[in-house]
Structure 1
Amino acid sequence: MPVFDTVLIDKDPRHPRIARLVLNRPEKLNAIGETTPSEIRRAVEWAEADDEVHVIVVEGAGRAFCAGYDLGDYAEGQGREGKGDHPCRQEKTPWDPMLDYAAMKRNTEDFMALWRCNKPTIAKVHGYAVAGGSDIALCCDLLTMADDARIGYMPTRVWGCPTTAMWTYRLGAMRAKQLMFTGDTIPGTQAAEWGLANFSVPAGQLDDATLKLAQRIAGVPRSHLMMHKLVVNQVWHSMGLEQSQMFATVFDGITRHNPEGMWFRRQAEAEGFKSAVAWRDSGRNIPEGDEARALVAELEAKLAAARAAVPVNRS
């Protein structure tokens, strides 16, 4: 059995035709760390290579499915005196969009292993599947949700663009635009009503309802499951999914390095990540253009003063 740092993979001991892929950082609501995308891909490859497995259920340990990227690592405390440049939070100017694109495209391709896998994948969502966590959920073939679970992409308000570009394909243009323009999340009940989720049930019934669906699928020959999945997936290919993901991934990098993105980063560094997120999600106007540039300068001065006030340890 493969061993990973942030995910678990195994066959269900009672139902060996069902593999369980568990996002396993419960102390951080299964936030996506640096190794998580590649570990998801490798876990899927393991399950795909096992002829006994017919279907893969993806779930989260603890209180949530996935709270998105571990942005505390990406946004807070990573400034000019922090850990240095990361392709997705570059400090050098002018920034290199292709470095960012290459890094984020790898993550997108790793998540898409769930979609490309020849075996059906089911995302079982409780708690939250937000930001990058919604990317993981929507790369699965099917989605089951607890009634009170929430799904959405709040960083569309600032500092993010969904790189998998799945929302339009799942919801259609009008509803996808509503969620992208507002950054709002919706509960499982609404996701099911809109057709984003296959169904939602009370949280206490989610395990049994998802297992029942997985068992029903697992009784179908692997060859048939593979053919049906390929037929449906090629429709999305012909509708330009790959091109949409390319644009979305480039734009995601721009959102993190344009004036608005730099304001969000400096706000997180100076006032804390929770402060930046609270502003983003509150409905307050997001600073933009010259206003954002002016605030970036103020916040950088504040950060420089704070660093200068720290005593130097000369021991």
Structure 2
Amino acid sequence: MPVVAYEIDGRIARITLDRPQVMNAINDEMPVELAKAVARADADPGVHVMILSGNGPAFCAGYDLTFYAEGNGAGEVTQPMPWDPIKDYGFMWRNTQAFMSLWRAMKPVICKVHGFAVAGGSDIALCADLTIMAEDAQIGYMPARVWGCPTTAMWVYRLGPERAKRMLFTGDKITGREAAEMGLVLKAAPADQLDGAVEELAARMATVPINQLAMQKLVINQAIEQTGLMQTQRLATIFDGITRHSPEGINFKTRAEEVGWKQAVSERDEGTWDWTANEELPKRNR
């Protein structure tokens, strides 16, 4: 069953993450289907602009941890020891490059975020050329607290070093309004006006010839790529695997097996657990 929907609406290609029952959580198929949809739109001479969105209550809630924890999929997000770093890297690098299809496409991509764009979902949203969020939507990379490193590294390229550190040293989620004020996304709109804001921008861009759009995108992206974007992403992808197989990462996985993902994630995000000692933090240290 397809997990990414695709349709053409005049000069606009609409690409929709379509696993609404799990808030469009990422499984093995989603990155592959996303890249195929982007390539399809890029090859269509009638398409000028792509709009990427999510079906259901959220844009994307990140990787489907239950799916992978139960041994499904090809990735083995946490492998039995001894860990094979190249197997891990191969899986995550393929996904990173699938997300980067949004960046590499000649035609511009607008990402529309409602609900959540968190963890791996934020990686997808931040690879788009322009991201517009609902004011009450939330974005963040909570696995930065333990068990993850954002493989696309787009936080620093969108925010600069200090604000990227603020987000990744805490793993906090912020609202669309805060994200726009910080410069992480283009703008935020009231939830009931989000569709209109995205459609207005897409319609305006769709009146520009494809070659003009492509040249402007290539020039701007080249300026970023000259700083070493791919090398940074390779390091981030390697570190992502290490975080999941560090002593703290293994303790997080063990804790999740003991009390369930929901409670372990809550302890991680609220800062109530010491992953080094694998025990509850005293209240004075929280």
TM-score normalised per structure 2: 0.95
The alpha-carbon deviation at position 195 of structure 1 amounts to: 1.3
Report deviation, 1:266: 1.2
User: 1:69-106 deviations in whole A, cap 9, x for unaligned?
Assistant: 0011223x45xxxx698443211x22111110011000
1:88, 1:104 within 8 Å by CA — same for their partners in 2? Answer: no
Show the 5 A alignment for 1:242-281: 242-281=230-269
The separation in 2 between residues aligned to 1:44 and 1:85, in whole angstroms, is: 23
Amino acid at match of 2:237: T
**2:78 is equivalent to residue 89 of structure 1:** yes
Q: Which residue of 1 aligns with 2:53?
A: 59
Summarize the alignment of residues 273-292 of structure 1 with structure 2, pairs less than 5 Å apart.
273-288=261-276, 291-292=277-278
Say what the alpha-carbon RMSD is for the aligned residues. 1.6
Report the Cα distance in structure 2 between the residues aligned to 1:221 and 1:86, rounded to whole angstroms. 41
Distance 2:147 2:209 in 1: 44
Q: Deviations over 1:153-201 (max 9, x none)?
A: 0010011000001000000000100110000011011111111111111
Q: Distance in 2 between matches of 1:161 and 1:238?
A: 22
**Structure of larger gyration radius:** 1
1:282 positional shift: 1.0
Gaps of 5+ in 1: 296-315
1:126-177, Cα deviation, whole Å (9 max, x unpaired): 0000000000000000000100001110010011000001000000000100
TM-score w.r.t. the length of structure 1 is 0.86
Give the aligned length: 280
For residue 6 of structure 2, the aligned residue among 6, 9, 18 is 9
Identity over the aligned pairs, expressed in percent?
Answer: 55
Query: Conserved in 2, the CA contact under 8 Å of 1:123 and 1:142?
Result: yes
- 1:285 positional shift: 4.0
Aligned to 2:43: 49
Superposition map of 1:1-315 within 5 A: 5-12=2-9, 16-75=10-69, 77-78=70-71, 86-91=75-80, 93-288=81-276, 291-292=277-278
Question: Which blocks of at least 5 consecutive residues in structure 2 are unaligned?
Answer: 281-286
1:313 aligns to what?
A: none
Contact 1:18 1:55 (8 Å CA) reproduced? yes
Secondary structure of the corresponding residue to residue 274 of structure 2: coil
